[in-house]
Each structure stands twice: as C-alpha cells, then as structure tokens.
Amino acid sequence: MREEGIRSILVNSNPATIMTDEEVADVTYIEPLTVEVLERIIARERPEALLPTLGGQTGLNLAVELHEAGILDRYNVRLLGSSVRTIKLAEDRQLFRDLLTEIGEPTPASMIVESWEQAQAALDLVGLPAVVRPAYTLGGTGGGIAHNLEEYERITKSGLAASPISQVLVEQSLLGWKELEYEVMRDGNDTCITICNMENLDPMGVHTGDSIVVAPSQTLSDREYHMLRNSALKIIRALGIEGGCNVQFALAPRPDVVGWAGSDEAECLPYHVIEVNPRVSRSSALASKATGYPIARVAAKIAVGKRLHEVENAVTRRTTAAFEPALDYVVVKIPRWPFDKFGTGDRTLGTQMKATGEVMAIDRTFEGALQKAIRSLEFGNRSILWEKPTWTGDPPMEATDERIWAVLSSIRRRIPLQVISDRSGIDPWFVERLARIVEMERTLLSEDLTPVLLREAKRLGFADRDIATLADRLPEQVRALREEWDIRPVYKMVDTCAAEFDAVTPYFYSTYEYENEAPPTARESVLVLGSGPIRIGQGIEFDYCSVRAARALQAAGIEAIMANSNPETVSTDFDTSDRLYFEPLDEESIRDLLENEAGDSGEAPRTIVQFGGQTAINMAKPLTNAAMPIAGSSADSIDIAEDRGRFGEILAELDIPQPPGAAVTNLEDALSTANAIGYPVLVRPSYVLGGRAMEVVQDANELVRFFGAALAENTGAVLIDKYLVGPEVEVDAICDGVTVLIPGIMEHIERAGVHSGDSMAVYPPQHLTDEQRDAIVDYTTRMALALEVRGLMNVQFVIAPAADPNGPGVFVIEVNPRSSRTVPFLSKVTGVPMVQLAVNIMLGQSLIDQGYTNGLWPERALVAVKAPVFSMSKLVDVDTFLGPEMKSTGEVMGVDFTFGPAVRKALIASGLDVAPGTPFLLSVSNQSKAEAVPLIRMLHEAGCRLYATEGTAALIQGLGIPVEMVTKRLNEGHPNVVDVIRDGTVKAVINTVEGGRAAAQRDGFHIRRSATEMRIPCFTSIDTVRAAIQALAHPDSYEVRPLIEYRDGIRP
C-alpha cells in the first residue's frame, strides 16, 4: 500500500503479531473487531476504502456487518477486493449453489436448512453419510460428517448454533474422493491466473486445514489439472473478485466410485466444487510460501486498482506478477495438532478443523519433503519410525493426527498396499511412496552403511537420527560418516520459475543433489532461529520476535539469516531476512545450514536462539557442543535457569526467595518432599513448555497419580514446589551484563495456578505495593546479572505476603533466559523496542549506548489488558477449565486510559464480554463461595437473572437474591444444567473448580463443554469473573484510538 502512495489504517485486536507493529501501517489501532469500534474508527479517520479480504473470515464478516449497518454508505467507504455481493455469494450456500448451477459447475446434492425439522427432511435428498457445514464460520467450526442418525442430529444442531445466521448446509458426502485446491487471482481487467494447485493426501472428509497437503498436485493428469483450473478461473470471474480466491474441489478417484463400468465413457471423471473462499486464506499463505509468489502483497495491489502485469515479480525483478509459478520441487504441509497437550481430546479428523498450526517442507523428492515436514512438527520422540504401543494387528486407518504413522506401521506389517489405500482412501501413489520409505528402513536395518546407501537414504529424507536408530549407530556417528563420504545437503532456490530466469530471492531449501545455489554470504551474518509450528504455548509472538530480530540485525548492517519451518509466519516471507532457509528446526538441519554458511572458512555465523521460543532455546546446547557460537546468553546460563538444583543455589546465594521445593526423580522423594513443604504442591516436569503435564496436587493420592504422568514426559527430573496462593506477576527484562532494563511489570488477573499464557494480564500492575514493586525490580536485576544474561529474560513471581511475613512476599516461580510470549505486548504498550535492544546487546552494544539505563522503565499512562483466546469449541472432549496447563492458542489486547474500559475491551475481543442483564448460570466450588458473594450481588444489581446448581443456589438464596435452581445431575430430571445452556436460557456461565484435574473432570465437565459448544462465555476462575463484572460498570465508555495516542498519554 505504502509503495502505491496509499495511507493505510490497520485495525486488529491481536498484539502478538508483527502486523500490529507501528511501522507496518501508517496508523495502527489495537481495538476489538466489532462494528461499533470500526464505526468509530471510520468516523475518525474517514478512509476512502475498506480492505477486508486480508483479514480472513473475520474481515469478511465485519465488512458485511458494516455494510448492513449502513456505515459504509454513510461514510462513503468503498469496499475493495470483494463486494458484499461476492462475500455473500461465496458464503451463503444457496446463492453459491445457484451461481454454480448458472455457470455449469457441478456441486454435490445438498440442501440449506435453518432448523432441525428441515434437516430431517433434507436427509431424504442427500442420504447418509452426510456432511454438515454451518454458514459463516471460521475453519468450518460446528460442522462434521454424520454417519448415522444420532450423529446427524448432534452435528446439525451444533452447526445451527455455530452459524451466526443459524444456517447449515447438509450435503451429499464425497467421502474418499480426491480433494484439491486452487489458489487463483484476478485483476480489474479480468486477467486471471492460478498461483498454485494443491492436492490433499487425505481424501475428502478431512478439513483441508487438518489434511496433509502436497503442492503441486501429484496424481492429476494434465487434462485433469486444467479441467479444475478452468473451473476455478470460471468461478473467480463469476464472483467478480479482484484479488485472491481459493477454490476447493473433489475429484472422483476411480470410475467405479461414480458407477462407471469402463474407462471409455469419458477422458475425465466427474468433479464437484466444494468451497470457495473469496479472500486471502490460510491456504493462500501456504501457496505463497510453496511457490514464492507473494499472494497477499499482490492481492493488496490489485485491490487498489493495479493490474497483474503492472505489479513487479519481486522474485525475478524482471518479470511481472502476471504469470503462473512453475515449481521444480515438492512441498508437503502437515498440520500441527494440539493432542500432545489435550490427551483426552477426540483425535478423529473431520470437517471441523482442529490443528493450531502447520509446518511445511520442501525437497526434490516427495519422501524427502514428507520426512522433513515430520521432523518439523517437533514431536520430540515421534520420528518417522514412531508407532503407537497400542497398535496391534492392523493399525487404525481412520483419519486422525496419527494416521500417517499408522500407514507406515501397516506397511511395515506387510499389509498389502492396495488394502491400505482402500481402507484409508489415500491414493495409492502416496501409499507407494511411503512404501519406499519403509523399504529403505528395511535396507538400513539389514545392510551395512555404504556411501551409496547413505546417500540414497538422505535423498529419501531420512534424518541422521533415524538412520542411526536403524543402522545401530549414534546420530553423531552418522554425521561423521556423511562428512567422511562428503554427503552433504545442497541448497536450492525457490524462485517461482523453475530456474527459467535468474532470480534474486534468497529463499532456500536443502536437498541431496549436486549443485549448491547458496554459497556463504560475503558479509558478516547472524542466524535467527524461528519457532516452528504454532502450537499451544508457542504462538505467533515468537514470529514477532524473529522478524524484529532480523530487522534489528539489518539495521546494524549485519546480514540476517532466518531458519524456520512455519509457512504461516512473516519470518518466512522471503523479504524479511537477507537469506531464508525453510528447514526443520532440529539439530541436524541447523548444523547443516550453519556448515553451509561457514563454507571453506569453517567459521559458522553466530546463532540467536532467544527469539524462537523453546524450540530455538533448545538448540543452544547442541550447537554449543558442536562448537557453533551462540549470540547472547550462553548455553550455560540457559541451563542454570532450567536446572532446578543449580538455579536454587544461585537464588540462595542471592537471598531471593522461591517457593520451597525440589527436583526429584522418583516417587519416594516426591512424597517426602511434598510432605516436608506441605500440600498443595505444584508438580511439573522440568524443561517443558506451556505447562504440559503440570498439576496442582492437593494430597498424596493425587501426587501418586500425577507423578507418573510428569515422569513420562521423559525430560529427566520432576519439580515439586509448594503451591502458593496469590496473584502472579510477570516481568520481561533486558540485560547487557552490566545494566538491567525492565520495560514493564504485568500483573495477572487470575491467581497463580492458572498458566501465565492463559491468564489475563494487566500493564501496569494495579495492586502492587511499592515495596513489592521494588522487590520485583531488585530480584530481577540481580538474577539477570547473576545468570549473565545477554539479551532478554522473563521472570514470573507469585505475591504471597502470608508466606513471607518478614519480607515483601515476592517469590520467584520461574525464570526463562529468552524472549517470552509477552514481549510483543510489552513492546507495544511501553514503546521500548525490546527485541532490537537485545539484538544490539548481542552485537556488542550496551544498554547505555542505546540510551537506556537500569531499572523499571517509567510506566505509561495507559492500561493494557492482554486476554487469551481459545479454540476449544473445535476440540470435542477437551475440558475448558483454566489450570496450570496452557490451553489458549492466541491473544487479544484491550487498551485504554483506565482499567475498567481496558478490561472490557479485552473481554469483548476475546468473546467473554457480558452485557448488563445477561442471564447467568452459576456453579461455584466450596472454596470460592466466600469470594463469590460480592460478585453475586453485583450480578444481581446489574439486572442479571441467576440460575445455579444445588449448593450455589442455596448460597444465593441465603443472600436473599432470587435464583432458579438447576440440577447438575444429568439423569435426574429436566431442566438440567446442560438443558438451560443448550436452549439458550442462560447466556453466560460461571463454573469454578477446586482441586486438581481429576476433581475438575468429575465436576462440571458437561457444563463447560456445553457452554463452549454454544459459544457463550464460560468463566472458570473467580478472578476472571471479578474482572468481567467490574467491566460491566463501563458498558460503552471506552476510547477508540490509535495505540500510540494511549501510549503517549494524549488524553481526551
């Protein structure tokens, strides 16, 4: 936009993304994405046009709402990219079907229904199995495939609830057909091109976001490829889109599927158009990275009136954007699912997307790309060789996150390939490719390693680690053999044109061939490690940090090299860094690329491990062992912070208190430690991110039960700490070895025990005493110096005055010598360029050099509240209560001049907003009843009708407040708790739990799940409730301003 001389105003509620950084747009608002907020922004900024197509489904929905509220007309705002008619055409099932019929494009038999009664009637037309797709929802939320009547009823009803217009499409199932996607683009002069086609390895029936995807298609003939391409172009023309569009197809895999006897009936089998997204989508991001064609950039230029041939091809710089990328490699995308954290979640994949992120890998063989993608998933122990211990006989072939391993296992068990293909619906081509992998496994198991064999294994993508397992060596020995036999990867360029033209993109992938296109860079360079796939505990915040790090390096005149495996990030845009390696973030790949950068000199560039979350920090030790230099805090500093024993010694030396506890390796020690410090205790494995397998344990019985789970994480020791009840406080600090800057302190709204990533956090803190604040600054400063931190550090404290009667009552819970997930939030609200300062420290500048000094950066006159966002409605069987294990997948921010409006905006943006008069269901645990009393009174005063379970109802009655009792025993009469949630009687739920996870699951699981599925706010922490009720007092009195005005304290 800026290149075109256009002033852009960006609105997003997400503080974690690089997008809401100030230098991206001309004006940046971090405000909730609602019609009301948008109207106020439009009224103030008076933009000429609105571009909604780059903001996903959220953007399109808002554009339609703004149009329908008459706001676009009133302020004379043009809609760019897609018209309201187009958005509705693509999203409203009936309109879309009519359009396709009109242009002669086939769609499966289907019916639009708006009630369960209509849905029953529709069954006659479409039959079972049937696909249920709700209109206007993200990622197909609320839909699914029904194989029987019972499933049909459940899914249809949840789909109707999920759709903002209570409309679902019930459709003939094309289960087992090939699924293909085309990314197409059109400009205002009706020039249309295809950027990329993609083939799902998983056949129809699995949401494309949950499918393993290959680009380009592998099993389509030229005729089929172009038949579908023609259709996609016809559709984008019919929709009149100016910009990008994604079209999904189902193609019959064999003549018998459609009842054809022979192959002479036609040259092509039938296909159906399944879905169209009239916008830049997740698939577009993948297609951009897969091809090197910057779809979002070109779409934005087209939206403002440029023609495709008027936009430069940034890759070749001598051709234009009007062409179709030619790939000379294979791309494999694998989704990253959260089932490693949600062990109880239903792992079955269907039309509702469950993945939180994805990885992509590129190679010149399919096998190589697939194996690299599997390595990129960063499932520590789940390599290509992994098999589930419970698999016996025939491993299950239904679609789950484990299916690719089940297929490999089946091949190892010599189940005929055709049988595997028939059962899974996966095209034989892919099954046969997997068979080649298994065949190589057998060879490696039985034959001696030779240069020819090792080279062949590497060409098929085998990791050194897996070769070592199979050939009975150590990974390091395999690496040594590779060196001896000169078997090293070469790096080839992603250039959009299959080498037809000389390209300037420094975008590389590894492969085992002959010519290397990435000689070491001539200038001084530093490698930035990204954070891999987005998962719970490691989100888009680290992309922000990686991108900022690259820019800081460039600003300092150093060449920034980026390594990452995630196609959804800005860090993997080829123009973010000076050189991009799209590679798995594991030891083998990072060492290979560092050796490539070292070249003949043997001197590898330094590596920054601080900004890529735990993924990157975990590389510190192996790189150090391999004599590769780390920029910033040393591997030893990192180890001290993570090693309970060593860290305890340092704290003792510094006389800084932490909750009593110990690291133990057996149950006996665990029990005696817990006895000594007293229950409740916090149990967690060391070296684990995002609180996986972390528990608050109330007694010895629970400890016995959870100790095993914690130990099973296989990270060595288990930490047993006294669980101190109190507010949690978090700081990020920057240290150059002499000076320690603390940009800000954040206070959590929920008490310690709720994972910091799932807590709402407030900047600046609202309840700290000066003494506590001073202690936090003092402890942080001394720890940073003692740990010899060079760069960033994050510390979490619990404030428990009762446990420290003679001191400030501040205890250190955790220290991480790296960038934390709060860095983008804190950078934006304080204006301190934290990543840049840290990078400059690594390059040798001091904080003083950069104009900063010791201590706490002056607090800004704003209040910012960070709130977590969950995607749990998509994960059936996952409990939603907040605990020590992190569950959120993203975050939003509410910012204002005072606390009430800020928290209200955070709640609006995170979907927890409650209006005065909202009917509430309460089910409060005994422990929190006393705390609940004032809140119940406030709810009553705010005109909220109250419903409550047995014990809570008694409490409310005792307060003299009217309440309706609803039983929580589901088989003892109606209405029960689930009924009042499902039928819409209550519009918000408060359900607090006490005790550990077991207790939580016994109690109230159905309440929470029902609330989640009905998409109504469900509060599981009394602290969140308090904040929400306080916010009720500020229904509309919030500001809407660019972030910078809040920060600079420009008050109204």
Partner 1 sequence: MSLLHTTERPPALLVLADGRVFPGVGVGADVRTNGEVVFTTSMTGYQEALTDPSFRGQILTMTFPLQGNYGTNASMEESGEIQVRGFVVREMTDLPSHWHSTETLHAYLAARGIAGIAEVDTRALTRHLRSRGVVMGTITQDETAEEALARLHAAPDYATLDYVAEVSTATAYDFTDPLHALGPQPDGGTPPHVVVLDLGVKRNIMRILRARGCTVTAVPHLTDAETILSLKPDGVLLSPGPGDPMLLDHVTTTARGLIGRTPILGICLGHQVIGRVLGADTYKLKFGHRGANHPVRDEITGKVYITSQNHGFAVDGDRLSDDARVTQRHLNDGTVEGLEHRNEPVFTIQYHSEASPGPNDTEFLFDRFMTSVRSLRESARGGR
The DSSP secondary-structure symbol of 1022 reads: H
513 contacts partner 1 (rule: CB under 8 A): yes
265 contacts partner 1 (rule: CB under 8 A): no
435 contacts partner 1 (rule: CB under 8 A): yes
Return the ∠ at Cα 1040 (arms to 296 and 7), rounded to 5°. Answer: 40
Is 247 or 990 the residue whose CB approaches partner 1 more closely? Answer: 247
Whose structure tokens read 């309109």?
95
> Alpha-carbon distance 735 to 837, whole Å?
9
**Residue 85 C-beta: closest distance to partner 1, Å:** 23
> Alpha-carbon distance 788 to 791, whole Å?
9
> Alpha-carbon distance 895 to 20, whole Å?
13
Select the span of 72-80, 304-312, 806-814, 934-942 touching partner 1 (CB under 8 A). Answer: 304-312
456 contacts partner 1 (rule: CB under 8 A): yes
Footprint on residues 178-207 left by partner 1 (CB under 8 A): 189-194
Return the ∠ at Cα 240 (arms to 239 and 241), rounded to 5°. Answer: 95
497 contacts partner 1 (rule: CB under 8 A): yes
Q: How far apart are the first and last CA of the chain?
A: 30
**Residue 432 C-beta: closest distance to partner 1, Å:** 4
**Residues with Cβ within 8 Å of residue 249, at least 6 apart in sequence:** 179, 180, 181, 182, 228, 231, 232, 271, 272, 273, 274
Helices of type H across 942-1018: 950-958, 977-982, 997-1002, 1005-1013
Q: At 357, which amino acid appears?
A: G
Is 226 or 937 the residue whose CB approaches partner 1 more closely? Answer: 226
153 contacts partner 1 (rule: CB under 8 A): no
What is the pattern of x (binds partner 1, CB under 8 A) and - over residues 244-263?
A: ---------xxx-------x
Is 269 or 800 the residue whose CB approaches partner 1 more closely? Answer: 269
Select the span of 220-228, 346-354, 681-689, 1038-1046 touching partner 1 (CB under 8 A). Answer: 220-228
Q: Which of 40, 44, 154, 309 binds partner 1 (CB under 8 A)?
A: 309
233 contacts partner 1 (rule: CB under 8 A): yes
Number of residues this chain uses to bind partner 1 (CB under 8 A): 64
**Residue 309 C-beta: closest distance to partner 1, Å:** 5
Which conformational region is residue 821 in: left (phi greater than 0), alpha (psi within -120 to 50 degrees), or beta?
alpha
Is 435 or 999 the residue whose CB approaches partner 1 more closely? Answer: 435
Is 40 or 309 the residue whose CB approaches partner 1 more closely? Answer: 309
Q: Which of 40, 44, 154, 226 binds partner 1 (CB under 8 A)?
A: 226
> Which of helix, strand or coil describes residue 247?
strand
Is 492 or 1041 the residue whose CB approaches partner 1 more closely? Answer: 492
**Residue 572 C-beta: closest distance to partner 1, Å:** 21
504 contacts partner 1 (rule: CB under 8 A): no
**Residue 347 C-beta: closest distance to partner 1, Å:** 28
**Residue 440 C-beta: closest distance to partner 1, Å:** 10
365 contacts partner 1 (rule: CB under 8 A): yes
> Alpha-carbon distance 567 to 362, whole Å?
11
Q: What are phi and psi of 112, to 5 degrees?
A: -90, 130
Given a contact cutoff of 8 angstroms between Cβ atoms, the answer to whether 680 and 753 are in contact is: no
Is 19 or 417 the residue whose CB approaches partner 1 more closely? Answer: 417
Q: Which of 4, 11, 3, 16 is nearest to 570 (CA)?
A: 16
> Which of helix, strand or coil describes residue 560?
strand
Select the span of 104-112, 302-310, 346-354, 590-598 touching partner 1 (CB under 8 A). Answer: 302-310
293 contacts partner 1 (rule: CB under 8 A): no
Select the span of 91-99, 145-153, 499-507, 680-688 touching partner 1 (CB under 8 A). Answer: 499-507
Given a contact cutoff of 8 angstroms between Cβ atoms, the answer to whether 417 and 432 are in contact is: yes
Q: Which of 68, 447, 472, 500 binds partner 1 (CB under 8 A)?
A: 500
Is 68 or 190 the residue whose CB approaches partner 1 more closely? Answer: 190
Select the span of 387-395, 428-436, 680-688, 1022-1030 touching partner 1 (CB under 8 A). Answer: 428-436
Return the ∠ at Cα 103 (arms to 99 and 108), rounded to 5°. Answer: 65
> Alpha-carbon distance 958 to 980, whole Å?
23
Question: What one-character-per-residue DSSP string does 249-300 give?
Answer: EEE-SSGGGGT-SSS-S-SS--EEEEEEE-S--HHHHHHHHHHS--HHHHHH
**Residue 256 C-beta: closest distance to partner 1, Å:** 9
Q: Which of 496, 386, 344 is nearest to 1009 (CA)?
A: 344
Q: Which of 452, 704, 738, 848 binds partner 1 (CB under 8 A)?
A: 452
The DSSP secondary-structure symbol of 758 reads: G
What is the pattern of x (binds partner 1, CB under 8 A) and - over residues 312-351?
A: ------xxx-xxxxxxxxx---------------------
- What does the radius of gyration of the chain's CA atoms come to, in whole angstroms? 28
- Which pairing describes strands 606-608 and 579-582: parallel, antiparallel, or unpaired? unpaired
Is 79 or 299 the residue whose CB approaches partner 1 more closely? Answer: 299
Q: Which parts of this chain interact with partner 1 (CB under 8 A)?
A: 189-194, 216-223, 225-226, 229-230, 233, 253-255, 263, 267, 269, 307-309, 318-320, 322-330, 364-366, 417, 427-429, 432, 435-436, 439, 452, 456, 492, 497-502, 513-515, 517
